[in-house]
Every structure is written in structure tokens, then in C-alpha cells.
């Protein structure tokens, strides 16, 4: 047996609810943009998540699955509610659990960051900023949100998914409530961090009551918004401590906000994991297993994070787009790490578009894009989104 296979990276992980992951590698949530514009599962998605499962990971998370069509992040998002087609979702769940992998759905709600061409964005507070205009949720609307998340979680369980992740990061709705930059409320859901985390804790409790004690519930949480006036690390640590008193099974540590004009964490330069040091501090606040997402590029970085106690699970995103077989290769001792492309002065959002179109290549069993394909990838990405926006508006009338 080689050193890689004996590493803590390839030891099982048991969650508080009793579910066991076969190793410590996860495909973190991304918007795959493969929905059909009607919020429905496509054959491309089924092939994609089967391919990732075959590559040897323990967990894969489908990003931004919406409970309603009213606050989507993108027109390629899935919508899971009582109007959804069960068989397609069941097929996705089966495909993603190939090879003893687990497939979770990320419970999403874009709030103020909803695509304004197919929705009417609303957040904790009314905002009129450059590139971001939104209304505010009423107190009655806020009180309905936990049940909305819970209904989607119940369907995820019924359709065969292995768990759910509540999205409270990257500037989407629950993250907006946590952030003083977005949340200017003066009622029980605004002000100090204790009030700002109230909705998140209510969502966790409501989802747990709905799905029972043995179904995994994860939370994706920002360590920091990386924006002036946003969520600070000391506040994020207070939220971790509060989650320790809940039935949460996994806390996925990330950071950054998809605020107009702000650089995303995934586009950061740097050679190492972005949030491992914060996770080490968070370990002192909770016994809940921690997943750390962002910046892992080599097997050694992933093994070190596990063996040094910074993380219990390593979240990979772009690395698994470049090589879906990476976990299997690392376990067998293949020292090759993915070669990350370098782009010359890409426009804002351009790198994300390139990786998203590479996801499409994987799903359609096509060849790899090169960095020189960036302009064509951006054009194809934007054209596809525009077509799906037209479909979304016809289907949902938003």
C-alpha cells in the first residue's frame, strides 16, 4: 500500500448523524449551469455527477437548488418543489451515488443577488447600490423561509439524495442576513450578530425537524465576506459556536461574496488553501466536522489539511473540473496534480465562464478547453444563459 492510500485523506469520516464517507474528498457546490431553463434535471447533469462519483470522491454537492423559481442565481439552476418531475431527480440521485459516493443538494436562495432578468431581487434590506438594487423581505416573508427550505430538504430525502447543504455563504440570501453590509434591519433579524444569525438557526432547526435525525444536514458558511463592512472572522466564529448547539452534521468553510465588481475567492492568486487557518480557529469552537473549500491544488495540500487537523473534509471545485479522476489518482499514488490554466487579463466573470463551459465538456464527454478558448467560452456561456432566461421567463412568468 502506498503512502497516499494510507494518508488520513483516504480514511472514512463519520458524521454526527451516523452517515459514513469513504474518504475525505468532496466536490464542493458549484453552479453547473446545466439545468434546462425550466428548473429541471438534464441528461448532462446525470452524466456529470456520475463521472465525478466514478472518479473516487466521497461527496459531491449540486450547487444552488432552488425551492421556488422566484430567486434563482442563474437560469441553469434546478428548482425542486411539489411541481418537479420526481423521476429525473431520482435518476440524478442514483447517478451521483455511484461507487459508494454521496450526492447532496445545496439548498439555495439568491435573495438580493438573484438574476434580475428572471426575478425581482429581495434581501434582508432594501439596497440601491451600483450594480445591485433590491427590495426587502417583510417580517412575514422571512418567517416563511425556514419551511420553504425544509420542504425542499424533504423532497431531496424522498428522491434518494444523501443529504442537503444549507447555503449561507458567498453573498446569497442566508449569507446576506449574516452580513452587516446587506442586513440593515432593526428588528429581531438585524443588528448584532446574534440577531443576524437568527434566520440561519431557524432554517437549520426547521430542516432537521422535517427530515429526521439520520439525514445529513450541512451548512456552507463564509469565514469572511472579504468586503469592507461585511461579515468579520470573529462574527463567523460566533456563528460556528452557535451551530455547535444544533444538529448540524457538517460545516463547509468558504469565503468571499459574489458582489458586483468584487473579486471572487476562486479567482484569487495564491498557491495554497484560502481558509485553512480560519478553520483551525473554528475547530476550537465546535466538534462538528469541518469541510474546507477553496484553493486546494495538490494532493500534499489536501493531505496536510487533514493530518494537521485543519479540516475533516477537503472541498475541491476547479481541480475536479480539470481532472474528474483526481481522487482515484491521488489514492493510487499518482503524484500528478492538475495543471491550472493561466489566463491573460480575463474580464470579470470570464474565468468562471471558462470553467463552467469545461463542466459542460465533461458532461457531454467532449475534449478539454484550452486557455486560448476563453473568448469563445465566454460567448457560449453568455448565449446559453440568455436563451435559458427566455425559457425561464416563459415557464415561470417572473
Average pLDDT of span 70-77: 96
Average pLDDT of span 178-188: 96
- Environment class of 342 (CB within 10 Å of its CB; exposed 0-12, middle 13-18, buried 19+): exposed
pLDDT band with cut points at 50, 70 and 90 for residue 1: very low
pLDDT at 62 (0 to 100): 98
Neighbours of 140 (CB within 10 A): 7
pLDDT band with cut points at 50, 70 and 90 for residue 96: very high
Average pLDDT of span 139-165: 98
pLDDT at 265 (0 to 100): 52
Question: Could you give the CA distance from residue 19 to residue 83 in angstroms, rounded to a whole number?
Answer: 29
Average pLDDT of span 150-160: 98
Question: Could you give the CA distance from residue 302 to residue 282 in angstroms, rounded to a whole number?
Answer: 18
CA neighbours closer than 13 Å in the CB half-sphere of residue 162:
22
Residue 155 has pLDDT above 70, yes or no: yes
- Tell me what the pLDDT averaged over the chain comes to: 93
Residue 391 has pLDDT above 70, yes or no: yes
CB 153 within 8 A of CB 204: no
- Environment class of 113 (CB within 10 Å of its CB; exposed 0-12, middle 13-18, buried 19+): buried
Average pLDDT of span 143-156: 98
Residue 4 has pLDDT above 80, yes or no: no
pLDDT at 274 (0 to 100): 84
pLDDT at 294 (0 to 100): 87
Average pLDDT of span 386-392: 97
Average pLDDT of span 98-105: 98
pLDDT (tens digit, 9 = 90+) per residue, 265-291? 555 545 568 898 999 999 999 999 999
pLDDT (tens digit, 9 = 90+) per residue, 45-56? 999 999 999 999
Average pLDDT of span 33-41: 95
pTM: 0.94
Residue 251 has pLDDT above 80, yes or no: yes
pLDDT band with cut points at 50, 70 and 90 for residue 2: low
pLDDT at 3 (0 to 100): 52
pLDDT (tens digit, 9 = 90+) per residue, 202-217? 999 999 999 999 999 9
pLDDT at 78 (0 to 100): 98
pLDDT at 269 (0 to 100): 47
- Look up residue 232 and give its three cell numbers: 468579520
Residue 153 has pLDDT above 70, yes or no: yes
Amino acid at each position: 500500500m502506498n503512502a497516499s492510500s494510507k494518508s488520513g485523506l483516504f480514511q472514512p469520516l463519520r458524521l454526527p448523524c451516523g452517515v459514513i464517507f469513504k474518504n475525505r474528498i468532496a466536490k464542493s457546490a458549484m453552479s453547473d449551469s446545466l439545468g434546462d431553463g425550466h428548473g429541471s434535471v438534464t441528461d448532462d447533469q446525470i452524466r456529470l455527477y456520475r463521472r465525478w462519483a466514478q472518479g473516487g470522491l466521497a461527496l459531491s454537492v449540486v450547487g444552488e437548488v432552488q425551492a421556488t423559481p422566484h430567486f434563482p442565481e442563474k437560469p441553469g439552476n434546478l428548482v425542486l418543489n411539489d411541481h418537479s418531475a420526481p423521476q429525473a431527480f431520482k435518476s440524478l440521485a442514483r447517478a451521483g451515488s455511484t461507487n459508494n459516493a454521496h450526492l447532496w443538494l445545496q439548498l439555495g436562495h439568491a435573495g438580493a443577488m438573484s438574476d434580475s432578468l428572471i426575478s425581482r431581487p429581495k434581501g434582508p434590506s432594501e439596497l440601491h447600490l451600483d450594480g445591485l438594487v433590491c427590495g426587502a423581505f417583510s417580517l412575514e416573508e422571512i418567517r416563511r423561509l425556514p419551511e420553504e427550505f425544509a420542504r425542499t430538504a424533504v423532497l431531496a430525502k424522498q428522491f434518494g439524495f444523501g443529504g442537503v447543504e444549507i447555503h449561507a455563504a458567498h453573498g446569497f440570501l442566508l449569507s446576506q442576513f449574516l452580513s452587516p453590509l446587506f442586513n440593515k434591519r432593526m428588528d429581531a433579524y438585524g443588528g448584532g450578530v446574534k440577531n443576524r444569525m437568527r434566520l440561519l438557526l431557524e432554517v437549520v432547526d426547521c430542516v432537521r425537524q422535517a427530515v429526521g435525525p439520520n439525514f445529513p444536514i450541512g451548512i456552507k458558511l463564509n469565514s469572511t465576506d472579504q468586503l469592507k463592512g461585511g461579515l468579520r472572522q470573529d462574527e463567523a466564529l460566533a456563528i460556528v459556536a452557535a451551530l455547535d448547539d444544533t444538529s448540524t452534521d457538517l460545516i463547509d468553510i468558504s469565503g468571499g461574496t459574489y458582489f458586483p465588481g468584487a473579486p471572487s475567492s476562486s479567482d484569487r492568486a495564491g498557491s495554497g488553501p484560502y481558509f485553512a487557518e480560519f478553520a483551525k480557529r473554528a475547530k476550537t469552537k465546535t466538534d462538528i466536522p469541518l469541510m474546507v473549500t477553496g484553493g486546494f491544488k495538490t494532493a500534499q495540500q489536501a493531505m496536510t489539511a487533514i493530518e494537521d487537523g485543519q479540516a475533516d473534509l477537503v472541498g475541491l471545485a476547479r481541480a475536479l473540473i480539470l481532472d474528474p479522476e483526481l481522487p482515484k489518482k491521488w489514492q493510487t499514488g499518482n503524484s500528478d496534480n492538475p495543471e491550472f490554466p493561466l489566463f491573460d487579463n480575463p474580464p470579470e466573470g470570464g474565468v468562471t465562464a471558462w470553467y463552467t463551459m469545461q463542466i459542460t465538456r465533461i458532461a457531454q464527454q467532449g475534449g478539454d478547453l484550452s486557455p486560448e478558448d476563453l473568448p469563445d467560452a465566454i460567448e457560449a456561456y453568455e448565449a446559453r444563459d440568455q436563451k435559458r432566461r427566455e425559457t425561464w421567463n416563459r415557464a415561470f412568468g417572473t
